[in-house]
Each structure stands twice: as C-alpha cells, then as structure tokens.
Chains A and B, each alone.
Chain A
Amino acid sequence: EAQVTQNPRYLITVTGKKLTVTCSQNMNHEYMSWYRQDPGLGLRQIYYSMNVEVTDKGDVPEGYKVSRKEKRNFPLILESPSPNQTSLYFCASSFTRGLTDTQYFGPGTRLTVL
C-alpha cells in the first residue's frame, strides 16, 4: 500500500531533550516536506527536500533540522525542543514539486514539550 508513515505518533518530552521524528514513504517520491499545524494558524511548512541531499527552509524552520540521506526517509530533528514546538506535525511527499503534483500526507505526530 502506498503510504507515508511517521513515528512516533504521539510523544511527550521535556525541554531540551533532543528528539527525532521519522518519516518514510514507499512511493519513490522525490519531494518531501514537513508541516506543523497549530490552532488558528493552519498548516505551515517547516522544511522541504527536492531530492536526496537537497533540503531547504520553509516558512517556520527555526528550532528544527532535517536530513535527506535516502530518498524514502526525511527525519525531522529537534535538537533542543521548547514548549512553543508543541504541535501536530505532518510529513508529506510527492513525485516532484511540479505544477500538478499531489502531496500525500502522513498520519501526523502529536508532540508535547513540557
């Protein structure tokens, strides 16, 4: 089944404790991205990757890192999480970032930073 998976689905952590949220897709997509969703602010893009070893900042990259060493994986790293990073996170992928590319979203990761 074609899908985007994220792990963990739920995470409660404390300020400053490094964490990684994994994202994997099995559709051989080149383009992957991370979004966060907060009440009243909608979905905002954090980082995106056009292909292996190519990443770039989205609208809200502060406090996050990403890497794209393999085509299928695009982990989101929070080196020193803070409470304002408490949010619902979504990973998405598409074949390319072309005019008509449909993005497929993962199920989401709900992160709470205490």
Chain B
Amino acid sequence: DAKTTQPPSMDCAEGRAANLPCNHSTISGNEYVYWYRQIHSQGPQYIIHGLKNNETNEMASLIITEDRKSSTLILPHATLRDTAVYYCIVYGGATNKLIFGTGTLLAVQP
C-alpha cells in the first residue's frame, strides 16, 4: 500500500502557483520523498525528490516539513500542459520500489 495521502483533485488558474500537498506521516529516516506526474496515460515523468532539505529544479520546488511528515510540491507558474495526475511517493530504505498511490489530479484552468 502507498505510504502517502494526497487530495484526489485540485484546480489551479493558469499562471498561478500550484501547491500540491502530501502527507507521509510514517516516513522513516532514510526514505526519500519523490514526485512524479502522469499526463493522460503517458509514462510517468520524474519531477523532483528530496530527503529533508527543500529542493528546487527547473520544473518545481519541493518543501518538506521539519518533521518530514508532509511535503508540498510547488509548480511556480502553472500552464495548461501541467494538467496531470501528480504522485507523491516515499522511496528508499525498506521501501525498495516505487509504490504509486492514486495521486492528485491537477486541473489547470485557463
């Protein structure tokens, strides 16, 4: 079973920041938080991952709380092409495979 909890869906206006939350209260010390997204039946695409520090790359930012029990993926300027299902995954340590839950369907509205 997935070790994360995400809202099933969210809306965001085009050009605004999209903030996608994820709860992972049972995460252990050596497990990473990964984010992938899947655009309408295409192969999942890696976005970003982190252990305990906040991370940023060309696609997004990842904010992990100090207790590591939750995180937020931030798409700074959402576009229509960012409409997708976003998966938050805890990976590493004893969890040695990617377990995809049901994710959050982000709908970017024009």
Interface of B is mostly: loop
A24 to chain B, nearest CB (A): 14
Tell me the complex Cα distance, A103–B92, Å: 13
Question: Are A107 and B42 interface neighbours, CB within 8 A?
Answer: yes
Question: Are B44 and A90 interface neighbours, CB within 8 A?
Answer: yes
Tell me the complex Cα distance, A33–B96, Å: 13
Residues of B within 8 A of A43 (CB): 44, 98, 100
Taking a contact as CB atoms closer than 8 A, the residue among A40, A92, A100 that contacts B32 in the complex is: A100
Report, nearest first, the 8 A-B pairs whose CB atoms are least far apart. A105-B43, A99-B92, A43-B100, A42-B100, A102-B46, A105-B44, A106-B43, A107-B43
What would be 7 A-B contacts, judged by CB atoms less than 8 Å apart? A42-B2, A58-B97, A97-B96, A97-B97, A99-B91, A99-B93, A108-B42
